[in-house]
Amino acid sequence: MRQHTTSRQAARLAVVLAATTGLLAVVPAMASGADSPSTALAERLEAAAGDDGAYRTLEQVQAIADANGQVRDDGSDGWKQTVDLFAGELKASGYTVWRQRVPYKKFIVQEESARTSTNLTVPVFMVRYSNSTKGGGVNAPVVVLPIAERAPSTTGCNAADYAGLPVKGAIVVVPFSPCGRATQANLAEKAGAVALLEYFLQPDPSWFLRVVVLGEAPNLPLGTISRASAKTLAAAPAGTVRMNLYLKGKFITDFTENLFAQSTFGDQHKVVMAGAHLDSASEGPGLNDNISAAAAVLRIAKELGADHTGVKNAVRFAFWGAEERVLVGSNYYAQNLSAQERADIAMYLNAELIAGSNFGRFVVDSRTATPGSGAPTDALIEYYAMRDVPIQILPPKSIKSDDEPIMALGIPTGAITGGTMGVKTPAQAALWGGTAGQQFDPCYHQICDNLASINRPELVVNSRAMAWVVGAFASGAR
C-alpha cells in the first residue's frame, strides 16, 4: 500500500524511527502538525473511538461474567454468551458475519491441591499440559531452593543448583526463571525429584497464576504457587515438612470458535484486518485481558458499518477463540487459509490488554520479523507521535498473541499492548504515570480483572490509535 504523509509527518516519523533502535526505547512526545486530507476516514474513526462505546461493551461483558460466576474461559457459558453478544452487534451493523469452528485438544484440570504435614493448605495451580501425579498423588518431603526475591532469577537452571540438597524423592520448589520451567523440571528430575512447584517473583508476594508448558512435557508433575507460600515452606526446618500434592488433568477433544465480520464494501482483495481474542483466563472474567481490546475493535466496526464513506479496502474484524489455550483459534485460522486468501490480506492489527490499571503503552516492532510489516508498525508509531502520546517499543514476538500466526504467513502485522506481568520502572512511571514497582496489570489472570480494574482514559487513548490505523489502511492512505 502506498505511503501518504505530509513533509512534517515524514520528518516526525524519521525522528520516531531513529528513537526506536533499542529493544525497549522511549518515543518522545513531539509537536503535532496538520494531518493529511487523505486521512479523513482515519480521523473520523479516531473521533468515534473517543466516545463511551467500547466501555459500554465492557459493561455488557461484565454483566455476562456476573451471571456466570466470573467465568468466561473458552467453552464456558460466559464465553459463549460473549461470542453471541459480539456476533449480534456485528450483524446489526450490517456485516457479513461467520463463525469458524476450531477443533483442538483441550487440557482440563480435574484436581489440584497441596497440604503439608503441618496442616498448611498451599494454594496451587496445575500447569496446563503437564503430567498428573500418579494414583493418590505424591506424598514427599519439600525442598525449597534458595528463595529469590526479584526477577530475573536463574535458580534451578543449572545442575549445580540441586547438588548437595536432599532432592531425591522430594517435591522441589523453584522461582520462575527465563530458562523455562521445562529446563528446571528436567534438571530436578535428574536429581531425583518427584514433582516441581514454581513461584513468581512479582511485587505482590501472594500473586500467582496458571501457566502452560509447551512442547514435550517433562515427566515431573508441575504446579505453581505464590512466593508467600514458597517462603513459608522455606522457613520450616530442613526435612520437617512433607506435602500431599494432587495434580490431575486430562486431554479432551473440544471445539472453539473464531468470529469474523467483513465489510461488503471496499476492495475484497485488499483486506485490512483488526482483531483481538474474546476468551479469558480460567481464573477471572478477563475484562482487560482481553475485552478491552475486543471492545475497541467492535467500536471501530460499528462506526464503519454506520458510515463507510471513504473506504477503499475491505475491512475484516476477527475475534479469536482459545487464545489463552496458546493461540488455538488464530493458529487454526492461519494454517487453513488458502494461498489466495493469504494474498488478499493486506495487513493485520492486533491488540492486547489496552486498559490496565497501571498500564504501559507498547508497540510491538514487527518490522524485522515480516517483510512489509513496517507499514502497520510505522503507522502505529506515527499516530502516537502525532498525538504527543509517548510509547515504548517491544521486540517482535514479545507478547505471544494472535499476531504471531498471521505474521508467520508473511502478512504485515502491527500490535499494541498495555503490558502484563512486567513491573513498571520509575522511568516508565514518570513517562506515563501510575505506580513504579508494581505490575502493569496487577489483575492479570486474576479474579480482579473486572470492570473496576479498567483505566477508562487509557482505553480511549489506545482505542483511538487502533481506529486511526484501521482507517488509514482502509482508506488507502497507507
The grid coordinates of residue 205 equal: 508476594
Catalytic choice (43, 189, 323, 382)? 323
Q: 323 catalytic, yes or no?
A: yes
Contact 369, 397 (CB under 8 A): yes
- Tell me the sheet residues that pair with 243: 116, 140
CA distances to 94, 96, 278, 351 from 88, in Å: 10, 11, 14, 22
Rounded Cα gap, residues 423 and 404, in angstroms: 24
Of 287, 285, 259, whose CA–CA distance to 98 is shortest? 259
Q: Strand 267-277 to strand 345-352: parallel, antiparallel, or no bridges (unpaired)?
A: parallel
Of 80, 102, 128, whose CA–CA distance to 329 is shortest? 102
Residues whose CB falls within 8 Å of the CB of residue 134, separated by 6 or more in sequence, listed in order: none
For cell 525429584, the residue is 193
Q: Which residues are catalytic?
A: 323
